[in-house]
Chains A and B, each alone.
Chain A
């Protein structure tokens, strides 16, 4: 193995996915993700969920909210298999996904552990967490009942 190959291998061993950017509005979401929990913002005033997080409820204007645990289950609303242009932080192709969670909010995410030919809009999904740079994690999705032995890819 050449030094360059060794270096490349070493690089691959550490997560290169960029860490999410934390703000006062979104920190609760990403802090939960590090703990392997998928959560959403639930308005204290009217009980509606919202995502992405925002400081004010657009329905009742409350600034108070609960952090609600979600089941992590949902269905594939849409997807795209991204080939180009490429960014060095990701392995291509990247499977981008829009996931409609059963609680009624939508996430931009990735599909994991599914062959391209098996991707179907409407397929049932469950959350797993992928590590990022700086020790954070983000929710990605795999088919419900995906072979445990195959694990997250």
Chain B
């Protein structure tokens, strides 16, 4: 293969990150949360709202571009876009932003997500019947085929596929719990995390109530969180004049497959393999010039812990059915071969719909993470079907 990499590869860099506190009751609107996170990210970047000419978010985000522009004083937006696929689209904001910057459509792009997953009008993980046949980009493709059967929650959609995965490969709940123990160990030392100073044992995990048997205990679930995060992306050339260590977007890709739905993704033939992530990895580790061995630290979307195992396999860090052993060997830990979700992940830190993982990857590559991995230079961030490889190496995979 070795075709030329996509022309945006390595042309854009993350130069600023910002966030609010993560809580269960923010006590203020998503718009205010976004204003706080975006201005913090711009300040971190040494830029002002007047520099911003691009905005990217998720289709499901409630903060309208117009409201954000008026609220923080952006003068003129030349580029805006939104990524579908719910949380599975999280990392697509980096692909959009990098493409916009590399093509010249925008100079400074802000990617943001603001959410009141816990205190909002409906809890994000709650059981809701749908008023329309599809969810209108709110997180699942075809509510009409799930709703009359009580399959109403993200946990229920994940569980249907996860049970098949466990059956196919002989995975037990304890195997999944070991991943959660590691996530919670990271969270326990992260002051921004929900799980700060609250480590969890495998016994705690096993004793927590069932959400969906036989795969999802309460402690397998991410935290419904209130908060906002933002990321500032500009050209790598301009990044050199800014105060922070530029974190280049060396690769970015997405892969939405035939017959694949969003969360209610039950119709492809073999559900024990996350084939969207297989396709994503083929793109990320294909023409961009990166190898899996280049990855010093990984952030992998862990809305529910079983999908962390499934993605480790689909992304090619271990073989089908081998994630349980890969985890039991300690590979996700700080001294493992693939330190993973070092902020505690969405399960341990909080659920800003995946985008907080990009902030953690950026901190790792700046060398400022609370659970800093030594010499971390290249990071993978993925969410099911979207992902990116971030790097502080000068070009491509080698310094």
Contact = CB atoms under 8 A, between A and B. Distances in A.
A108 B212 contact: no
Contacts of A85: 123, 125-127, 153, 155
Contacts of B162: 80
- By Cβ-Cβ distance, the 7 closest A-B pairs, closest first, are A80-B159, A87-B127, A78-B164, A94-B150, A81-B213, A90-B150, A80-B212
Interface string B257-290: 0100000101100010000000000000000000
B132 A21 contact: yes
14 contacts: A20-B144, A21-B143, A78-B160, A78-B164, A80-B160, A82-B151, A84-B218, A87-B129, A87-B152, A89-B150, A96-B149, A96-B151, A96-B160, A108-B145
Contact of B148 (A23, A52, A93, A138): A138
A75 interface: no
Interface centre among A17, A21, A138, A140 (most CB of B within 10 A): A21
Interface residues of B, number: 44
B209 interface: yes
A51 B259 CA distance: 10
B215 interface: yes
A76 B211 CA distance: 21
Interface in A74-119: 77-87, 89-90, 93-94, 96, 98, 106-110, 116
- The DSSP consensus for interface residues of chain A is loop
A86 B123 CA distance: 12
A20 to B, nearest CB: 5
A83 B209 contact: yes
Contact of A140 (B149, B209, B258): B149
Interface of A: 17-21, 23, 26, 51-52, 58, 77-87, 89-90, 93-94, 96, 98, 106-110, 116, 121, 132, 138, 140
A96 B144 contact: no
Contacts of A140: 149
A79 B164 CA distance: 8
Nearest to A18: B129
A78 B167 contact: yes
Interface string B123-164: 101111110110000000011111111111101100111111
A105 to B, nearest CB: 9
A74 B244 CA distance: 59
A94 B151 CA distance: 8
A47 to B, nearest CB: 18
A81 B212 contact: yes
A83 B144 contact: no
B164 A77 contact: yes
Contacts of A116: 213
B156 A83 contact: no
A138 B144 CA distance: 11
A108 B130 contact: no
A141 to B, nearest CB: 11
Given A77-B271, A81-B212, A84-B218, 18 more contacts: A17-B148, A21-B130, A21-B147, A26-B144, A52-B142, A80-B159, A80-B163, A82-B212, A87-B150, A87-B152, A94-B149, A96-B151, A98-B164, A108-B145, A108-B160, A108-B266, A110-B149, A138-B149
Contacts of B159: 80, 82, 96
